[in-house]
Structure 1
Amino acid sequence: MTLNIALFGAGRIGKVHAASIKSDPRAQLVAVTDVMAQAAQALAAEHGIEVMTEDEILADASIDAILIAASTNTHADLIERGIAAGKAVFCEKPIDLDLQRALKVRASVAASGKPVMMGFNRRFDPNFATLKAAFDAGEIGKGELLSVTSYDPAPPPVSYIKVSGGLFRDMMIHDFDMCCWLFGLPAKVTATGSCLVDPAIGEAGDVDTAVVILHYADGRLATIRNSRRAVFGYDQRLELLGSDGMLSVENQLETTVRKSTTAGVSSAKPQLFFLERYMRAYETEWAAFLDALTNGTAMPATVQDGVNALALAEAANISLKEGRTVTLTAEMTGGAP
């Protein structure tokens, strides 16, 4: 059985997801909608699909699932409208910029029983997935210290910064999810940040350089380092120290060629940006969504995962603003921390 899919959003990430949908024979992209009519028409022409309105898509009984890749401020409403229309839903992160709104979506999804998956693509990167499998198999014993590095090559436009929800909700939310995926929810959060890359980012009320420490109840620690500027490329690394060894993931380089001479040893730079680094992860993520729908199994990245990451972002913002360590509460996550 081939599932009919409609895409909400025809921008950069929408184009990535359109390609992923087309790459799996179990799904068929049939429609797209976007507030920017020209973008929707261009994507529709590229893939030979219809341009429809949101209402038309949700009312069409032949459409089995929707993929939400529209602007963040639409996510919560579209998830709720999608499940109310009986559709399976795949939604890009975050659920919403407001934690309380995300918790309401969580309750709606739980009550509906409809399958909803959040787009935390890094879980599906082959390197990170291999690391998690080795860790879960006990290959390095008990995890003790987790370090996540995520540096963008250059900051986005300040116009985007102003509506992004800030670095913790927009950029570090992926890293919060990675820490929860590997170590679970922490007990406390300590955040610090600066504006070192572009003064305009600070004027917009955000930071562009930040470090967060996640404190776990059993003494484990996780650190996350973010920067909006790494002039050498997209820096994505992870290191997990355990009682019996260490697992790590290094950068994907532009080439694997390394030159060794009497002058020294050199290699290529990291790949430039997330489209190159995570394209395979997006395809694997989509396949995992279809696997869950086809087999009737649990989604590998749930709305609760989205709430957890957003709760950590909320705690980090409070910590940065008030200069203190923040305890994660059950009220913030909709359950026990």
Structure 2
Amino acid sequence: MSKPHKIGLAIFGLGRAGMIHIQNAVRNPRVCLKWIVEEDLEKAIKIRNDCFLTDSVQIVKADDSMKAFQDKSVEVVIVCTPTAYHSDIILAALKEGKAVFCEKPIAIEEEVVRTCYAAARECGKLLYCALNRRYDPSMREIYTRVKSGEIGQVRSIKTTSRDHPQPSTAFLKISGGIFHDCATHDMDMICWIMGEAPSTIVCQAHSFIPEISALNDVDQVGIMMKFPSGAIAQIDLNRNAYYGYDQRLEVFGSKGMLQTVNQYPTSVSINNERGLCNGAIQRSFPTRYKDSYILEFEHFLNVLQGFEASLDVTEEQCLLVTRLAESCEESLKSGKLINFKMD
């Protein structure tokens, strides 16, 4: 039997998510990194050297990205740039017959999201919106156990997502705002577990950080959603938790409760005169969600190579969280509860 070929990759953008995908690509026996497209060439060269990649991994700026798009050995484009550039890269990649793995969101405008998926259907290539928290082992176990009926009828879901460290002002300027950048993770997780879209949504928020206020954005957010089934969801977001990257999920039902707690780098604890201490929780999303990034890409490759039938994240689900983010912005601006529905 002939040995399967390695899938050629081009990675666009070397932010924190891009760095994770570079590291995962190096370790993944199914893929071969061919191109890095990044404006900071010095950074890209350093990463290539640090990961012991050869000069055969070519590095170019965006102006020369057609070289990567037109490389016949590239089968997959991974998009990790700021959100504003996603759709242009996606459409260019699809036009050249490449499958696309895109860090969420596809775009912040619904019509642009629809255009990208339509282009994927037209050329018969995969377009995957990577909502990585679905692949976190703890959160996926909660999903599976809820669906099994273990806790009965779901009555309440609570998520806490507090960032650490505070993102740079440069990133925040191009992030798309806290609702599209952060809240979409929590809203997708909740709707995925519930298996339905909410009927109402209301949002309140405030900016405690002057640099974020100057961007007309907020850093503390509370979102409440009610579902047709009667369940109520609450989302607590903050741009910077002093003590670490705070990520928790609780699902309460008629027969019990499931929850995830914060993770620690090790299981070592100490007992002394001050009591029991477990140390500091994980400090950032690359460490907290390391496994989820590996597993979401494995899922994408499995579908690409025919080992799984279809992608977990659908166009409809992608559009749902985009519309929900827009509704949060509308509720915050108007101060009113929004009656939510998808067309």
Query: Pairwise mapping of residues 261-280 of structure 1 onto structure 2 (< 5 A)?
Result: 263-280=274-291
Query: Pairwise mapping of residues 300-315 of structure 1 onto structure 2 (< 5 A)?
Result: 300-315=312-327
Distance 1:311 1:240 in 2: 23
> Does residue 12 of structure 2 align to residue 8 of structure 1?
yes
> Does residue 234 of structure 2 align to residue 230 of structure 1?
no
Distance 2:286 2:225 in 1: 28
Could you tell me whether the CA contact under 8 Å between 1:106 and 1:304 is conserved in 2? no
Q: Structure 2: state its 5+ residue gaps.
A: none
Q: If the length of structure 2 is used for normalisation, what is the TM-score? A: 0.90
Could you tell me whether the CA contact under 8 Å between 2:84 and 2:174 is conserved in 1? no
> Does residue 86 of structure 2 align to residue 75 of structure 1?
yes
Equivalent position amino acid for 1:66 in 2: V
Q: What is aligned with 2:141?
A: 130
Distance 1:298 1:69, change over 3 A: same
Distance 1:305 1:80 in 2: 20
Distance 1:156 1:10, change over 3 A: closer
**Residue-pair matches, total:** 330
SS at structure 2 position matched to 1:118 = strand
SS at structure 2 position matched to 1:297 = coil
Distance 2:67 2:47 in 1: 18
Report which stretch shifted further, 156-165 or 226-235.
156-165
Runs of 4+ in 1 over 4 A off after TM superposition: none
Distance 1:262 1:162 in 2: 46
Q: What is aligned with 1:158?
A: 169
Note the C-alpha offset of 1:261.
5.2
Could you tell me whether the CA contact under 8 Å between 2:9 and 2:74 is conserved in 1? yes
Q: 1:24 aligns with which of 22, 28, 53?
A: 28
Q: What is the CA RMSD across the aligned residues, in angstroms?
A: 1.8
Q: 2:40 aligns with which of 28, 36, 40?
A: 36
Equivalent position amino acid for 1:328 in 2: F
SS at structure 1 position matched to 2:295 = helix
Report which stretch shifted further, 208-217 or 135-144.
135-144
Could you tell me whether the CA contact under 8 Å between 1:9 and 1:40 is conserved in 2? no
Equivalent position amino acid for 2:119 in 1: S
Report which stretch shifted further, 248-257 or 41-50.
41-50
Distance 2:168 2:68 in 1: 32
Distance 2:305 2:200 in 1: 38
> Does residue 73 of structure 2 align to residue 62 of structure 1?
yes
Q: If the length of structure 1 is used for normalisation, what is the TM-score? A: 0.92
> Does residue 58 of structure 2 align to residue 50 of structure 1?
yes
SS at structure 2 position matched to 1:330 = coil
Could you tell me whether the CA contact under 8 Å between 1:95 and 1:307 is conserved in 2? no
Equivalent position amino acid for 1:35 in 2: E
Q: What is aligned with 1:335?
A: none
Q: Structure 1: state its 5+ residue gaps.
A: 332-337
Note the C-alpha offset of 1:262.
6.5
Query: Pairwise mapping of residues 204-215 of structure 1 onto structure 2 (< 5 A)?
Result: 204-215=215-226
Distance 1:262 1:58, change over 3 A: closer
Note the C-alpha offset of 1:108.
2.7
Could you tell me whether the CA contact under 8 Å between 1:24 and 1:287 is conserved in 2? no
Q: What is aligned with 1:249?
A: 260
Equivalent position amino acid for 1:56 in 2: K
User: Alpha-carbon deviations, 1:270-302, whole Å to 9, x = none?
Assistant: 111111111121111111111111125211223
Report which stretch shifted further, 45-54 or 237-246.
45-54
Equivalent position amino acid for 1:207 in 2: V
Note the C-alpha offset of 1:321.
0.4
Could you tell me whether the CA contact under 8 Å between 2:82 and 2:174 is conserved in 1? no
Could you tell me whether the CA contact under 8 Å between 2:159 and 2:186 is conserved in 1? yes
Distance 1:263 1:158, change over 3 A: closer
Note the C-alpha offset of 1:66.
0.9
User: Alpha-carbon deviations, 1:2-41, whole Å to 9, x = none?
Assistant: 2111111133321210111222211111211123333333
Could you tell me whether the CA contact under 8 Å between 2:249 and 2:261 is conserved in 1? yes
SS at structure 2 position matched to 1:95 = coil
SS at structure 2 position matched to 1:217 = coil
Could you tell me whether the CA contact under 8 Å between 2:82 and 2:175 is conserved in 1? no
User: Alpha-carbon deviations, 1:91-117, whole Å to 9, x = none?
Assistant: 011111323322322333344432111
Query: Pairwise mapping of residues 137-216 of structure 1 onto structure 2 (< 5 A)?
Result: 137-183=148-194, 184-196=196-208, 198-216=209-227
Distance 1:229 1:170, change over 3 A: same
Identity of aligned residues (%): 30
